Amino acid sequence: MPGTDVRNLVAGFRVCRTLSVLWFPKRASALPKMVWRQLFLASCLSAAVLLTMLQEGTGASVVTRQVARQDAQEDVEQKIFMQESDASNFLKKRGKRSPKSRDEANAENRQKLRADELRREYYEEQRNEFENFVEEQNDEQEERSREAIEQWRQWHYDGLYPSYLYNRHHI
């Protein structure tokens, strides 16, 4: 059966030759085309492998990010929301005659103090504005009266010093 091996070899050579003729019609330029095709196939294969590895890596990082977000959200919820027992106690309506809790009394006192402070600031500002207005009015009135007095003195000046009527010498 040594002949069959040769025949298979020759047949395989003919198939390879036929494929090479189909792939490379011009024998002279066969080497550069084969190199470019090999490079192209190798780069596609490496890109595919790289992308699959990156997808697995980002999948793991997305999972860790989601876990971190959930932890952060739970922390925020703990800071914002009360415990269930505290919330139910907080929302219970107390009777009219039952005493206020210390927290309720403190909250009401804080509100009253803040209202008093705002009222005090408002009235202080109103008082300051009114005082400024009255001061300006008094200044204007004093200026008008001073001008009138000066005009009267100039009109009634008799050349004597002091020029007041009650200081005049009557002969």
**How does pLDDT run across 56-68, given as a tens digit for each residue?**
766 555 557 777 7
The model scores a pTM over 0.75: no
Q: Is the dihedral of CA 9, 15, 19, 22 positive or negative?
A: positive
Q: What is the mean pLDDT of the chain?
A: 76
Residue 62 counted as domain residue: no
**Domain contains 152:** yes
142 lies in some domain: yes
| pLDDT tens figures, 135-167 | 999 999 999 999 999 888 888 776 666 655 565
Distance of CA 46 to the CA centre of its chain: 44
Between 54 and 58, residue with greater pLDDT: 54
Crossing angle of helices 2-23 and 30-80, rounded to 10°? 80
pLDDT at 10 over 70: no
Residue 60: what pLDDT? 54
**Residue 158 within any structural domain of the chain:** yes
Query: Would 146 be classed as within a structural domain?
Result: yes
**How many Å apart are CA 103 and CA 86, to the nearest integer?**
13
Structural domain boundaries, residue 131: 102-170
Residues 6+ away with beta carbon under 8 Å from 87: 81
Total domains, the chain = 1
Half-sphere exposure (CA, 13 Å, Cβ side) for 12?
6
Report yes or no on 145 lying in a domain. Answer: yes
Answer yes or no: is 86 within a domain.
no
> Would residue 106 count as lying in a domain?
yes
H-type alpha helices, 24-101: 30-80, 84-91
